[in-house]
Structure 1
Amino acid sequence: MHVNRTGIHSLEVPHEFDATGSFDVDVVNHGESLHVHLHLDDALSSVASIDAANHHIEADSERRIRVTVDGDGPVRGKLKVVTAYGAETRYVDVVVPEGGPENEPVIVDEELAKPQPKTETESEPLLEVLSTETLFAAGGGVLALVVGLLTLALTSDFLLTLGVLIVVAGALGALYLTVVR
């Protein structure tokens, strides 16, 4: 669609559009910046949606607006296009055929059936893959475990023992998350 091509706030849209799935509305602005409002009528909004209705189009620029079709047709509805807060209004007949996007065929390339070569990170040793920060955190966790276990072995105070067990459990959890991550 074109705005500001034949005059200020002018609007040129196609009369009809067949949507076989989600589609983009390309707005080409040939003049000063302006706002474009898109609205789906009730029939069309039952199978499609737009993230935002109002769009600011910069001067002499192009903007792509996604219309997501997530329902099944057949549906015939209207896309209302308004420029400059009502200066111009046009309607595009949109047809969503029976079948909808969930029935579209998925084309799988034959290359996916072939075994893929291992990447460099899959063949690297564990210490080369881990970052310095991760190794430092793991070392701190091991140190906390050692100090906690030594304190536990040398004390007979119940509250201190309970506190050390909590610290040891936290350190073990952190080590687990560091290695599993």
Structure 2
Amino acid sequence: MTDELPVHISREELHALEVPASFEATGSFDIRLINHGEALHLHLHLDDPLSEVAAIDAGNHYVEGDSERLVRVTVDRDRVTEEGLLGKLKVVSAYGAQTRWIDIELAEPAPEEQSVQVDESLAQPQHTTQESDPVVENPTALVLGLGLVAVLIAAVAAVSIADLLVVGGALVVVGGVLVALFFLLQEG
């Protein structure tokens, strides 16, 4: 399956359209408008069943002479059933000079085969070594150290600011550290 539908314009004669009879896609796809002649307008239209699940940005498209242009057909895969969907795309050149119909089939994407490569090393026991952190092994020392730092900061603040409120706050910090130390020693 391809995700690009080619539409050749004016290759053999002016405003002539060359399109495949059918096209199959598994989701959103592009229509590649390939103009081999003069500039013209091209009209694209999805029939009713196809327009229920797909949309084109605009119906009319101006294609410069001797140029290519991509037009996106956005498909809502959630609205396509497992059986897929059949519809038609109408392509009209130069305000009706030529009209062509393309059978469009929206199909389920082929399931992707996902495999995991496993070798014999997976069956061997894995040896892990953990480096121990002495601070984490002894949480009492960590709490004691942090409590000491908190008391020092509170004492320095109380002495340097010498405000009654700051001294009260320092006493609260010292009391909190003492309570924490009490509970920590109870567990140990």
For the aligned pair, the TM-score class normalised by the smaller chain equals: 0.5 to 0.7
Q: Which of residues 59, 73, 79 in structure 2 aligns to 1:53?
A: 59
TM-score for the superposition, normalised by structure 2: 0.52
Gaps of 5+ in 2: 1-6, 115-188
TM-score, normalised relative to structure 1:
0.54
**Out of 81, 86, 91, which is 2:91 matched to?**
81
**Equivalenced residues, count:** 103
Structure 1 stretches of 4+ moved >3 Å: none
How far residue 104 of structure 1 moved from its aligned partner, in angstroms, is: 7.9
How many angstroms does 1:29 deviate by? Answer: 0.3
User: Which of 72, 75, 80 lines up with 1:72 in the alignment?
Assistant: 80
* 2:85 aligned partner, one-letter code: V
> Matches of 2:35 and 2:13 in 1, distance apart?
11
Give SS of 2:50's match: helix
- What is the distance in 2 between the residues matched to 1:89 and 1:78? 12
- Please tell me whether residue 4 in structure 1 is matched to residue 29 in structure 2: no
Q: Classify the secondary structure of the residue corresponding to 1:43.
A: helix
C-alpha change, 1:104 and 1:62, in structure 2 (3 Å) is farther
Identical counterparts, % of pairs = 57
Deviations 1:88-132 (A, max 9, x none): 000000001247xxx987x9xxxxxxxxxxxxxxxxxxxxxxxxx
d(CA) in 2 for partners of 1:45 and 1:67? 10
Q: CA deviation at 1:39?
A: 0.2
Distance apart, 1:19 and its partner CA: 1.2
Return closer, same or farther for 1:15/1:46 CA change in 2, 3 Å cut-off: same
Q: Deviations for 1:111-155, whole angstroms, at most 9, x for unmatched residues?
A: xxxxxxxxxxxxxxxxxxxxxxxxxxxxxxxxxxxxxxxxxxxxx
Q: One-letter code of the match for 2:92?
A: V
- Deviation digits for residues 25-56 of structure 1, max 9, x if unmatched? 00100000000100000011111000100000
Aligned pair partner of 1:31 in 28, 37, 56: 37
- In structure 1, the residue matched to 2:69 is 63
Q: Which runs of 5+ in 1 are unaligned?
A: 108-181
Q: CA separation in 2, counterparts of 1:34 and 1:83?
A: 7
The structure that has the greater radius of gyration is 2
